[in-house]
Structure 1
Amino acid sequence: MPRSRFSAHLAFLALGTIWGSNFLFMKWAAEWITPGQVTLLRVVAGFIPLALYAACQGVLHRAHWRHLHHFVVMALLATALYYLAFAYGSSVLLSSVAGMLSGAIPLFTFVAAALFLRNEPINARSITATLLGIIGIALIARPWQGLQADVSLAGVAAMLGGAMCVGLSFVYAKRFVMPLAIPSLALATYQTGIATLLLLAVIDLEGILALSNDGVALTGLVIGLGVLGTGVAYVLYYFIVGELGAIKASGVTYLPPVVAVIIGVLLIGEPIRGLDLLAMAIILVGVILLQSARKKQEVAPPKPDGSETEQVLPRSGGLEASNHSAR
């Protein structure tokens, strides 16, 4: 195997592990500060390395700012609201459960694309895939148990709301952002920078220093969620897409739910039921079936080096949902 492709496969595994661990880091941090503060610190910690890397690559240009309104919409949908919803969901759900729910993001993206872009295949396979996703989510949430349910319905709703933001942001990016042919790294930098300003304007900072009382939670948020889960994840994902192609790179969407369950159950002793594992399997089968139903590969905008890659269905966790120029 050529060295570059071997490196891409290592990056593939690393990215799946990073995204799968995000739910645990969010839960740890939420024990000390609010979900809004978790989101703010995550975005800030991710923006700094992105901005430095983008500046070194020379991809930031003043001319891009005439598209500021598009950057603001993407910062809201694909960063601020998305991360905030997931931070809240992770704070009231087991990290393994939150991770399992994140596996349904491609299904929500398909629904949004089918409604607004009308370029996704609507056939028996895609409909079946969507229904499987709904069944899997229902098995995890168990709404029929009502107030006696041992899963927070508010947390599940937050996770699904975050997933819907990802789906809508994909549609918006496809129609308005991708045609701009702005380098992906630049888009990610603008997006996280604007999201930082938006969050600073609305998030109450009182008590945010309480996180410093727990060195492990602080390190998990800054390094795990911010630097790795938001900043480095962008770089890894675009490297994978460039080396393996977007269709193969989309396979990374299957890893985070599995990683989240392994971390939650084996490393921190979270309880897991057979029904939850069945639900995760159903969701993943639905995602795989949906991917196989796509008849045409979409083309992404030019990469920073001017080449083009395939377009791939978005996934959660930070990077591809953030600007959709690669997912």
Structure 2
Amino acid sequence: MKQAAYIAFALLGLIWGTNFIFMKWAAAWITPTQIVFLRVLFGFLPILIFALLRRSLSWSHLRHSHHFLVMALLATVIYYYAFAKGTSLLLSSVAGMLSGAIPLFSFVTAWLFLRAEPLNRRTAFGIFLGFVGVILIARPWNSLAAGVDVSGVLYMIAGSLSVGCSFVYARRFITPLGLSPLALSTYQIGLALVLITLITDMHGMSAISADPVALTGVILGLGLAGTGIAYILYYFIVQRLGALAASGVTYIPPVVALLIGTLLVGEPIKSLDLLAMLLILGGVYVLQSGKKNPTTPPTVVPKPST
């Protein structure tokens, strides 16, 4: 069974790594909000079917709807929108590299609000390395010459912070509920679908049908695979390998996004960007290895979502 878990591990990293090019293609035709709507819609369906088949849902769970609503906002709607908007303003490879910083923001928010994470010299050094990498990608001192939209970087940071805050909220309010990860994900994404439907302007969304590749990327790449199947794979990995090992999947998407952007799409990449990605991933490694008592990340928050 472990072999199957390792295959799922690699597949999950590949799926999440492709999300950025799919968002980039879709952004040429529809708005970020519309991208999120389609992604959540087609991601919710397989999770709902799977949850119903596993009989994971119960009417009694609805008394916790206020908690599910907060998670729907932090871990889906805001997170997905910020990443879709950020990717529309950046090269897909750059957006993918920035997504590698999600564990850094998750650690910082957990330390600030829960005081549950150990802040020692090693973890502090890991945070420092990671944020130096983010700054090198943004290059605020010379962003125009470098062709980097700082607002795009800020959107990516906002998405990462939203995930970090969802981590804190889940640790404080969701984990004690004792509900299955599959049930929590179903409620979270289902409520997210309701929220994003209420705020999405559907006008002009059919424009993406003019590009079959972009349309397929949103429906199958971001929705079915990037949200629905990705959640199921993530929980399978957590069950077979443990949450700590599952968190290691965060190293794969930035590399996949970089390879797709540079080799398949022809996006320009600078040596400074490569150095920045190495610093971000190195910072995450130092941070994780510096924890004296690693804590289990909330299973309701995928790492990283795009």
TM-based fold match above 0.5 = yes
Q: Which residue of 1 aligns with 2:304?
A: 316
Q: Which residue of 2 aligns with 1:124?
A: 121
Amino acid in structure 2 at the alignment position of 1:173 = A
CA distance in 2, matches of 1:226, 1:146: 32
Q: Whole-Å Cα distance in 2 between the matches of residues 160 and 115 of structure 1?
A: 17
Distance change (3 Å), C-alpha of 1:56 and 1:246: same
* Equivalences for residues 302-313 of structure 1 within 5 A: none
Q: Cα–Cα, structure 1 residues 312 and 128, in superposed 2: closer, same or farther, change >3 Å? A: farther
1:275-294 matched pairs, under 5 angstroms: 275-294=272-291
Mapped pair 1:115 → 2:112: yes
Counterparts of 1:88 and 1:257 in 2: how far apart (Å)? 17
Partner of 2:96: 99
Normalized against structure 2, the TM-score is what?
Answer: 0.97
Question: How big is the shift at 1:146?
Answer: 5.1
Deviations 1:128-178 (A, max 9, x none): 111111110011000001544410111000000000000000000000001
Q: Is residue 206 of structure 1 aligned with residue 194 of structure 2?
A: no
| Conserved 8 A contact 1:77-1:166 | yes
Establish whether residue 187 from structure 1 lines up as the match of residue 181 from structure 2. no
How high is the sequence identity, in percent, across the aligned residues? 57
2: CA distance, partners of 1:64 / 1:165: 24
Cα deviations by residue, 1:92-111 (Å, 9 ceiling, x for unpaired): 11000000000000000010
> Are the aligned partners of 1:106 and 1:313 in contact in 2 as well (CA < 8 Å)?
no
Q: What code does the residue aligned with 1:72 have?
A: L
CA distance in 2, matches of 1:189, 1:224: 19
Deviations 1:152-207 (A, max 9, x none): 11100000000000000000000000100111001111111101110111111110
User: 2 CA distance for matches of 1:21 and 1:31?
Assistant: 17
Q: Which 4+ runs in 1 deviate beyond 2 A?
A: 146-149, 297-301, 311-315
Question: Does residue 85 of the first structure (1) align with residue 73 of the second (2)?
Answer: no
Secondary structure of the residue aligned to 2:218 is helix
Instruction: Indicate if the aligned counterparts of 1:143 and 1:149 stay in contact, CA closer than 8 A.
Output: no
Query: In 2, Cα distance between the equivalents of 1:314 and 1:143?
Result: 29
1:50 aligns with 2:50: no
- The partner residue of 2:174 within 159, 177, 197 is 177
Mind listing any 5+ residue stretches in structure 1 that lack a counterpart?
Answer: 302-310, 319-327
TM-score between both structures, scaled by the size of structure 1: 0.91
Kept in 2, the 8 Å contact 1:22–1:317? The answer is: no
Amino acid of the structure 2 residue aligned with 1:37: Q
